[in-house]
Structure 1
Amino acid sequence: MSWLPLLLFLLSTAAQESVNAAESNILTLHRRIEHSNASRLECLRTAIHGDGWRQRMIAGVIGRRRKANEVDVPLPSLESTIEMPVWSGAYTGTGQYFVRVRLGTPAQPFLLVPDTGSDLTWVTCRYRGTTDLMSAVKDGRKNGQRSRRRRAKRIFEADLSRSFHPISCSSMSCQTELPFALTTCPKATSPCTYDYEYAQGSSAQGFFANESATVEFPNRRRMKLKGLVVGCTSSAVGSSFVSSDGVLALGHGPNTFVSRATARFGQRFSYCLVDHLSPRNATGYLTFGPNPFLPPHPSAPLILDPFLQPFYYVAVAGISVAGEVLRIPPSVWNYRRGGGVIVDSGSTLTVLADPAYGLVVNALSHRLAEVPRVQVDPFDYCYNWSSPKAAATCVPSFEVHFVGGARLSPPVKSYLIDVADGVKCLGFTSTPWPGVSIIGNIMQQEHIWEFDLENQRLGFHPSNCATGTLFP
């Protein structure tokens, strides 16, 4: 995953078994800084490096993807529209957002990365038999990979949870429903293991279990969200998870947190990400159920083909700069022809396949030609914004056109981003063609994004992510 120190608000950890069914659940998103002394540019460089690895990981997953299993969710849908409060949060430069989640019985709190590109929810975990388990994991790993213990502040003590139930490797679930499970099965009662690969060369190793999460409502009542598939991760490779306790899988698939939560809360979820340079008293939020703060809004088709899981493809028709539609080949937007566009909360910058990237940055840079250029690695187009000519420059508009007519018109700061004092850069990176384009989280900032899974629509509307407050 890509990664654009202070957690300002902790939710209560008490658990309660029932709650009024006509309510939606909100989990507060916080941003966290990994190295408080790192400059804005250093943080962005780290995030961009992760974006590159993440894009290659996404391409690899799509290339290997086989038809996924259908979702089996016995819980009834609830079409509730309860308004939920928004809490203040913090600015970080890592490119990561964090959500507070309570797992187990009694509940234990953790800070997880909410990732729309992941189909495995996992937490750093300790469990009896871990030594034997990890021997099995290592036997199933690729040659040349090395495991190292992950540094973490919080560890899920699985033995202390009454609701923690390991999934055996001989179970039908392990053999047919968990596509990233390892084939290693020393004996019928051994846990179902995984070696899950991420961007930046990162991976998480452990075993699957069924577990419950405690969710909280505005009136402070709580309920258990049962039947979750959760990874008990005892080892990880890479630096991606140093400042988190794991990942909350928001991807589309039969075993993600989204599949269980939306079955309980109305087949939709939404989030609002604050400005990535926001002060520490600002937060965004993640909701399950209809978003009470989302007014009538434009929407675009979501492509939820099982072949594309866990990613959320959106039907893009084109891009315009300064009101002029660019002549980008239609194949760039067509996932059946090696292209397509996904909405990804785990990528920082917006990634464009080469045919689109060249046209977009050329159109933008042409209209910024009067502003002095500066060299800032790894960006291609950066400008000295302290120059008097910058003050007299009108930055051109940038719009994403979706199939059906909806348009995303982000603020200038979402595509001409601040990387250092007095320096702005075009916030795009390229990927070779054929390749998947990605709408990253900076482009998504200060918008509500609603994923309507039942109707396969992606809704969006400008917002400052504060309760009931929307930009004109």
Structure 2
Amino acid sequence: MAGRRRVVLLLVVVAAAFLVAATSAGRATRGKSARFELLRLAPAASLPDLARMDRERMAFISSRRASARRRAEETASAFAMPLSSGAYTGTGQYFVRFRVGTPAQPFLLVADTGSDLTWVKCHRAAAASKNASSYSHPAAAASPRRTFHPDKSRTWAPISCSSATCKESLPFSLAACSTPANPCAYDYRYKDGSAARGTVGTDSATIALASGRAAPAPRNKAKLSGVVLGCTTAYNGESFLASDGVLSLGYSNVSFASHAASRFGGRFSYCLVDHLAPRNATSYLTFGPNPAFSSPPPLESTASCKPAPAPAPADAHGARQTPLVLDHRTRPFYAVTVRGVSVAGELLKIPRAVWDVDQGGGAILDSGTSLTVLARPAYRAVVAALSKRLAGVPRVAMDPFDYCYNWTSPSTGGDLDVALPMLAVHFAGSARLEPPAKSYVIDAAPGVKCIGLQEAPWPGLSVIGNILQQEHLWEYDLKNRRLRFKRSRCTH
């Protein structure tokens, strides 16, 4: 104790002398610069004591940094993920960059509002699953992609096949469970006949936080834990050859969209660039408030079955909105109430049952489907109205389309100068989707345009695909069950 008192007394004396010297220097120099000599006193503490104090200081610095990072995560209202067209791969999908695991492993996934399972192609040996199937697509070897190594992620946690999560929360899981400790296996089937098989677990995704902007601030990242992730060791289907897996944006308690939106304002949004845009034309998939939208106005009455002839009401940012129908019969898809379709301002005669889920119809939005697919009565009415106004253009045959045209001018060799009729989809709440003409009379080949719609059986659902959604910003407000949209070029 006496030694410590001597050290304290010495420090007080030195401080007093320092103060006197500083005061005298101030009088003498009158505004000139002052120099102070740094004195190194004989150490009063041992080197181990100094090392301990340094460690304590470093812990304090680290805690301050971690606290600042936590505050940034808590105050951040959104995060964003780069989104781009996959046209350069020859597919009609949109890809999102996704980082999962600790340390993070990067992947390129299909952004799919019709999926409730996020999965990545998985390293077979690392997965070590007895329940995983052994088949794979024959072209997979010719198109090697990145694969997830769960054994290299500190945050990967397999879900056991005997758990309540596997048996009750994952509708795509397999019933087989030979040993309770075995991982939960799945066989996920898609409408186009493609499939993915593997085992499911949870892991953390690395996200780029955005504070009041659509694009994230550089190096402002955080972890989103507890993401349900499929480790796919076998798959089939052409749609998966160009990607590393699927990011589930569907409405489900296990989808990535629901998990992320629940933490960031209950909503997410995306903007799809032109489907033929180059690889570097990037937009964002955003979770949380999107600054491109203002505060939503109240929904209008949906009592009227006929769309209003006047333009739909829009907020200050030009956005329109309609109720989002989250029906158990259409899950994990997002359904909307369609009131009708018009061509060149004329409302077409389509039976109301086509848009009614209770009568075997209904309409959904699907970012994973390229072409818009209409139930037979709607398809025939729409293509008849469009083809009637294109009767003067020479027809050509091209699968899988029913109506294709030679768009090359005989005199100039360039494109024909033909005014295309406006197509509009009328939603409940007087909201109207008026896509650009290139979204429904599409470029199918050099000098050839086709009516880019497909026919679906009736009864059956109609699907608004990603080409009809292109160059629009879409917001899925899960909390308030609203769909908002507005025209946008989608590039930043």
Q: Which residue of 2 aligns with 1:172?
A: 164
Establish whether residue 254 from structure 1 lines up as the match of residue 253 from structure 2: yes
Is residue 2:437 matched to residue 1:415? Answer: no
Structure (1/2) with the larger helix percentage: 2
SS at match of 2:179: coil
Give the Cα separation in 2 of the matches to 1:329 and 1:105: 53
Residue equivalent to 1:346: 368
Q: Is 1:320 equivalent to 2:342 in the alignment?
A: yes
Residue 130 (structure 1) shift: 4.2
Match for residue 194 of structure 2? 202
Displacement of 1:22 in angstroms is 2.8
1:96 counterpart residue number: 93
Q: Which residue of 1 aligns with 2:262?
A: 263
Q: 1:26 aligns with which of 72, 77, 80?
A: 80
CA contact (8 A) 2:91 2:239 kept: no
Q: In 2, are the aligned partners of 1:372 and 1:387 still within 8 Å (CA)?
A: no
Q: The residue matched to 2:257 in structure 1 has which SS? A: helix
Distance in 2 between residues matched to 1:323 and 1:92, nearest whole Å: 37
Instruction: Determine the structure 2 residue equivalent to 1:156.
Output: 148
Q: Which has the larger radius of gyration?
A: 2
Q: Distance in 1 between matches of 2:181 and 2:419?
A: 66
- Among all aligned residue pairs of Structure 1 and Structure 2, give the percentage whose two residues are the same amino acid: 55
Matched residue, 1:401: 426
In structure 1, the partner of 2:464 is 439
Asked whether 1:273 is paired with 2:327, we answer no
Alignment partner, residue 241 of structure 2:
242
Task: In structure 2, list runs of 5 or more residues that go unmatched.
Answer: 1-65, 210-215, 294-316
Q: How does 1:109-188 map to 2 (within 5 A)?
A: 109-126=106-123, 130=127, 133-134=129-130, 136-138=131-133, 147-148=136-137, 150-151=140-141, 152-188=144-180
For 1:446, the aligned partner's letter is: E
1:21 aligns to what SS in structure 2?
A: helix
SS in 2 for 1:231: strand
SS in 1 for 2:289: coil
Secondary structure at the counterpart of residue 370 of structure 2: coil
Report the secondary structure of 2:91's partner residue. Answer: coil
SS at structure 2 position matched to 1:156: coil
Whole-angstrom distance in 2 between the partners of 1:280 and 1:147? 28
Alignment partner of 2:384 out of 348, 362, 365? 362
Question: 2:250 & 2:396 partners in 1: Cα distance?
Answer: 38
Q: Structure 1 residue 105 and structure 2 residue 105: aligned? A: no
Number of paired residues?
388
Equivalent residue, structure 2, for 1:70: none
Flag the 1:177–1:463 CA change in 2: closer, same or farther, 3 A: same
Q: Is the 8 A contact 2:441 2:452 kept in 1?
A: yes
Contact map agreement 1:92 1:276 (CA 8 A) in 2: no
Check whether the contact 1:333–1:340 (CA below 8 A) recurs between aligned residues. yes
**Kept in 2: contact 1:100–1:109 (CA 8 A):** yes
Contact kept in structure 2, 1:137 and 1:184, CA below 8 Å? no
Query: CA distance change for structure 1 residues 281 and 172 in 2, over 3 Å: closer, same or farther?
Result: closer
Counterpart of 1:310 in structure 2 is: 332
Task: Give the distance between the partners of 2:249 and 2:281, measured in 1 at CA.
Answer: 22
5 Å-filtered alignment, 1:363-382, equals 363-382=385-404
The separation in 1 between residues aligned to 2:451 and 2:238, in whole angstroms, is 26
CA contact (8 A) 2:101 2:153 kept: yes
Is contact 1:127–1:158 with CA below 8 Å preserved after alignment? no
Query: Does the 8 Å contact 1:315/1:403 carry over to 2?
Result: yes
The answer to whether the 8 A contact 2:472-2:489 is kept is: yes
Q: Could you tell me how far 1:388 is from its partner in structure 2?
A: 6.1
Instruction: Give me the whole-angstrom Cα distance separating, in 1, the residues matched to 2:399 and 2:174.
Output: 39
Query: Which structure carries more relative contact order (alpha carbon 8 Å, separation 6+)?
Result: 1
Aligned to 2:10: none
Task: Name whichever of 23-32 and 115-124 sits farther off.
Answer: 23-32
Q: Hey, what does 1:427 align to over in structure 2?
A: 452
Give the Cα–Cα distance (whole angstroms) in 2 for the partners of residues 418 and 318 of structure 1.
26
Residues 438 and 189 (structure 1), Cα distance of their counterparts in 2 relative to 1, 3 Å cut: same
Amino acid at match of 1:457: R
- Once the two structures are TM-superposed, the CA of residue 127 in structure 1 deviates from its matched residue by 6.1
Structure 1 CA distance for aligned equivalents of residues 203 and 421 of structure 2: 50
The offset of 1:281, in angstroms, is 3.4
Residue type at the aligned position of 2:446 = D
| Alignment-derived partner of residue 73 in structure 1 | none
- Contact 2:268–2:288 (Cα < 8 Å) also in 1: yes
**Whole-angstrom distance in 2 between the partners of 1:299 and 1:384:** 37
Deviations 1:30-72 (A, max 9, x none): 2335xxxxxxxxxxxxxxxxxxxxxxxxxxxxxxxxxxxxxxx
CA-based RMSD of the aligned residues comes to 2.1
For normalisation by structure 1, the TM-score amounts to 0.78
1:280: how far off? 3.5
Once the two structures are TM-superposed, the CA of residue 114 in structure 1 deviates from its matched residue by 0.8
Report the equivalent of 2:321: 299
Q: In structure 2, what residue type is equivalent to 1:350?
A: T
**Counterpart of 1:288?**
287
Distance 2:329 2:441 in 1: 34
Which residue is 2:35 aligned to? none
